[in-house]
């Protein structure tokens, strides 16, 4: 494995570098063909198909948030029971994602993504029927099944993008997927609110339609590079994954923590902002609140797309943008300790923090997908995605708990966590001039 520098804390292989171990370029080409490509006809349609997967994933959760009060009223359930509609989905996905990653490495990416989309959409229909029939057990069981399906969607699509492309095109694809993820977050509360104007449970049945569109796109627009060698036996595969963490553990753990924390803060901060907007004298709710909540997310989407386009495989730029993004998050959240009572200032600060998140996540995605062999990439990206799901699931309740104690304490805590992440990334994540 080629070193990126004598003083570097991590080792990320250079493009085209020779390896002294089994994880070098030769090993990659033996596991998958050299069919990864930088260009070619139909790239736009491929990008759109890949980007549809994270959009579907986000819609499956965030689109239901605006209808939770209606769910409680119509089904006669408690606030805690309605929160399980979101939390159980995320927890089920987080637990199963590593298994989905292993299966995608052992068989193929599409062999996992296609059945997962079918399960995801089919369970959505059952959840809708549970809502119509007033059956909470059917609804909650179907949401858990949707979480199982979600485990094999966006995390595996990220690994597939790494298989299909290289260099500048890979970073563009990953940046677009992160931007698509953010776009789904922006659109889903608004879309959920609009659908609720028809009938309160309409979102449950609209979601499988999006699943079907993504399924068709993956079936007909994506051609996965063929594997040219047999998958590793399970014992050897586990040893390889352990080897990845022995070699890259320090910087990967720091990156995993930073990525998970970014989404933990993003969703928690949106929960905080949503609560502030509904209080007098703002009294902003419904679709208007959805549009206001979209402002920070739009900042993240724009930053994700621009970052994915410009970083390519430039390790120096990746490190710079990663640190700048975390520094922006830290500074904005720290300023909110004193300015959170002003809704306009709060929106501006959370937008600045979200822009920092948009700079951070595509950079981390590019390093994580490029630093390991394709034969273990599914597992590594899935572990990373699993932690991101936990961040999404834990953020709102953590913020809600701290809000009951002290609202300034919310931002004291999260700015301190962002500062810790900045320190870990600054000292441990040091790619060389070019990453693989």
Predicted confidence (pLDDT) per residue in 169-208, tens digit: 888 888 888 888 878 877 887 888 888 888 989 999 998 9
Q: What confidence tens digit (pLDDT) does each residue in 337-355 have?
A: 999 999 999 999 999 999 9
pLDDT at 324: 98
Neighbour tally for 205: CB within 10 Å:
17
pLDDT at 38: 44
pLDDT at 262: 96
Give the dihedral sign, CA 79/66/48/125. Answer: positive
User: CA 191 → CA 60, 122, 196, 288, distances in Å?
Assistant: 12, 20, 9, 12
pLDDT < 50 regions, the chain? 1-41
Q: Rounded to two decimals, what is the model's pTM?
A: 0.75
pLDDT at 25: 36
pLDDT at 380: 83
In angstroms, the CA 332 to CA 313 distance is: 28
pLDDT at 183: 81
Domain segments of the chain as ranges: 37-223+234-428
User: Burial level of 310, CB count in 10 A (0-12/13-18/19+)?
Assistant: middle
Assigned CATH class of 37-223+234-428: mainly alpha
pLDDT at 277: 82
Cα 315 to chain centroid distance, Å, stands at 22
């Amino acid at each position: 494995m080629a070193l990126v520098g004598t003083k570097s804390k991590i080792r990320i292989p250079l493009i085209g570098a020779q390896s002294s171990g089994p994880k070098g370029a030769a090993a990659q080409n033996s596991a998958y063909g050299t069919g990864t490509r930088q260009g070619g006809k139909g790239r736009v349609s491929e990008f759109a198909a890949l980007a549809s997967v994270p959009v579907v994933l986000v819609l499956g959760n965030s689109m239901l948030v605006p209808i939770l009060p209606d769910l409680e009223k119509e089904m006669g359930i408690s606030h805690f029971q309605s929160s399980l509609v979101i939390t159980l989905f995320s927890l089920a996905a987080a637990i199963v994602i590593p298994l989905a990653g292993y299966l995608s490495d052992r068989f193929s990416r599409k062999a996992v993504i296609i059945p997962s989309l079918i399960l995801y959409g089919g369970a959505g229909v059952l959840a809708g029927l549970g809502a119509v029939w007033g059956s909470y057990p059917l609804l909650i069981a179907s949401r858990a099944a949707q979480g199982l399906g979600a485990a094999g969607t966006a995390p595996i699509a990220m690994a597939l993008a790494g298989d299909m492309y290289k260099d500048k095109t890979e970073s563009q694809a990953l940046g677009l997927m992160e931007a698509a993820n953010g776009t789904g977050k922006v659109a889903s509360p608004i879309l959920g609110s609009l659908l609720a104007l028809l009938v309160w449970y309409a979102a449950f049945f609209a979601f499988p339609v999006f699943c079907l569109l993504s399924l068709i796109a993956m079936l007909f627009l994506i051609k996965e590079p063929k594997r040219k060698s047999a998958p590793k036996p399970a014992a050897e595969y586990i040893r390889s994954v352990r080897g990845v963490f022995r070699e890259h553990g320090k910087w990967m753990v720091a990156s995993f923590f930073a990525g998970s924390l970014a989404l933990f803060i993003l969703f928690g901060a949106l929960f905080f902002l949503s609560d502030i907007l509904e209080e007098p004298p703002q009294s902003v709710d419904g679709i208007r609140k959805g549009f206001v909540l979209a402002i920070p997310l739009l900042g993240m989407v724009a930053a994700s797309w621009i970052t994915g386009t410009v970083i390519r495989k430039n390790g120096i730029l990746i490190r710079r943008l990663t640190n700048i993004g975390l520094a922006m998050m830290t500074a904005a959240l720290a300023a909110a300790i004193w300015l959170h009572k002003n809704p306009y200032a709060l929106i501006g600060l959370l937008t600045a923090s979200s822009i920092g998140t948009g700079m951070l996540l595509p950079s981390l995605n590019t390093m994580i997908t490029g630093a390991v062999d394709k034969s273990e990439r599914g597992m590594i990206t899935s572990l990373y995605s699993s932690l991101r799901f936990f961040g999404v699931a834990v953020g709102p309740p953590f913020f809600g708990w701290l809000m009951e104690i002290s609202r300034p304490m919310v931002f004291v805590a999260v700015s301190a966590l962002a500062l810790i992440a900045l320190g870990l990334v600054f000292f441990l994540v040091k790619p060389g001039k070019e990453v693989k």
